[in-house]
Structure 1
């Protein structure tokens, strides 16, 4: 970027962008309330009440998390344990910077938890997804952590896995997820509120050779590891970048391409809500909230407190 261009960015575009971000978050006062709530949530995650041991087979959820999100992972799983009334044996996939004390805070709640370390994940990728054969996927995964939601739970492995995002809270029994984990047969995914693949639909349909599902959201993603065609994923990843560049939602585009023409279960948006808004953020009548974009304010200011209160009441009954 030229010197005039840099000055224009620093003196105009960057400040204007900051103002727009602040307004979208409700303004400076709301931003401060949101940050205060976030800090309180992180502190509360270290003292969440221990979970009772329940009869029956455990449920295994996979989560990619790290230093900035571990406390959201804790609340997500804790609310899941209370609403499913099942023991959980979560698999925590370290995104590369999960601290030992954060791991121990999670293990305090889930003693049977597995942790897949960054070194282990990279060794598995090197063995089964070598850079010389899959340069686009590997390079994109290096720079874009969300792509690891596709690679890290599945490369070199077999079996069905349900990956969930950390910024979810559960308020009522997620029967769809429990039933799927107990007897998976087709892929499962969340439903978005709008088209968010970052690439033209016509391009995705062209690459898939047929229409792709249009509202795939990977906040919930149940896949069978051995059914993923990594050669196709590499081709799609490379072609999207060559023709349209990189995009924040590229991993959702790749999943949509993979699901084209395949039976799959779409979690109903009425119960598994992506980006909840009032009055739902106050009433929490849905089974699950996925707090993306502007719903973060409600998440950090009060929704986690609602999930905590509901869980504590269930623990007392």
Structure 2
């Protein structure tokens, strides 16, 4: 029993420090200091609405994401936070404190609402009931109170004003969906199948972590049809991204400039933001949060 306990302790230590002391320090000690910052008030502008899906493991990261966006963008877009079903009451209260004008959508309430909304779309309903990330596809649009949505994941930090993203969001003549470019195409369906069955080309390297989505592009009739494609129900997170890419490609899509690209190497350089995808999540702490702290971000939020 002693050796089992020792082995378990060793494993926990190894997991905690596997990306180094700096990562552990900024993740476990510094990250929570965002909770001492002032709430973001008056997120009520209807030009665009930010929609995010978060969990009991990502909610603290999300506060960094949202506060860095609001701080550097200078915007006060509407905000809607969707609970994936794992948020505790305390976490919900904390999110509501920091974003008092935001709508916080409980998973149980959303489940009931979406049951009625999707009853005429059996494939959509089944997908909504079986995929943990499916609320990004269905709930975001169902609760969207603007014609334009800023799609945002809980692992995108901002370091300066995202000028081109904001320009596309706010231009009344800009009619495309526009997201960051992935390192490679990560879909559950082959592009040749899309061309053969759907008659259009799916946009390569579409990433659903950051970007502008027009409400009318997420057409339930289209999604119901896309879900009939052979083999499309594949990897649990790639299917959500695939559906966004299919809808956007049919509607009209343009990727954001290269400074918004997903990158796996180290370095923020002069980019306005960075999407810290799973493979580099540790850099969100040792690089992203560290940079924000060193440049006085937390102090500015408290003034």
TM-score normalised by length of structure 1: 0.77
Unaligned 5+ segments in structure 2 are: 1-13
2:164 & 2:273 partners in 1: Cα distance? 11
Give the equivalent residue in structure 1 for 2:209.
219
1:293 & 1:44 partners in 2: Cα distance? 23
Give the equivalent residue in structure 2 for 1:307.
292
1:122 & 1:128 partners in 2: Cα distance? 10
Deviation at 1:85, TM superposition (A): 1.9
- Cα deviations by residue, 1:160-181 (Å, 9 ceiling, x for unpaired): 2222111100001012232333
Deviation at 1:245, TM superposition (A): 4.8
Q: Are positions 1:115 and 2:107 aligned together? A: no
2:134 & 2:246 partners in 1: Cα distance? 14
1:245 & 1:38 partners in 2: Cα distance? 34
Deviation at 1:266, TM superposition (A): 1.4
2:210 counterpart SS class: strand
Deviation at 1:257, TM superposition (A): 1.7
Report how many aligned residue pairs link the two structures.
285
Q: Are positions 1:163 and 2:148 aligned together? A: no
1:140 to 127, 144, 158: 127
RMSD after superposition: 3.1
Give the equivalent residue in structure 2 for 1:173.
161
Deviation at 1:35, TM superposition (A): 4.8
- Cα deviations by residue, 1:68-105 (Å, 9 ceiling, x for unpaired): 11111100011011101233542111111222222222
Contact 1:207 1:257 in 2 (8 A): no
User: Which is further off, 206-215 or 163-172?
Assistant: 206-215
Deviation at 1:63, TM superposition (A): 0.8
2:247 & 2:212 partners in 1: Cα distance? 12
Give the equivalent residue in structure 1 for 2:178.
188
Give the equivalent residue in structure 2 for 1:267.
256
Contact 1:169 1:307 in 2 (8 A): no
TM-score normalised by length of structure 2: 0.81
2:95 to 88, 106, 116: 106
Give the equivalent residue in structure 2 for 1:197.
187
Give the equivalent residue in structure 2 for 1:286.
271
Contact 2:41 2:99 in 1 (8 A): no
Give the equivalent residue in structure 2 for 1:207.
197
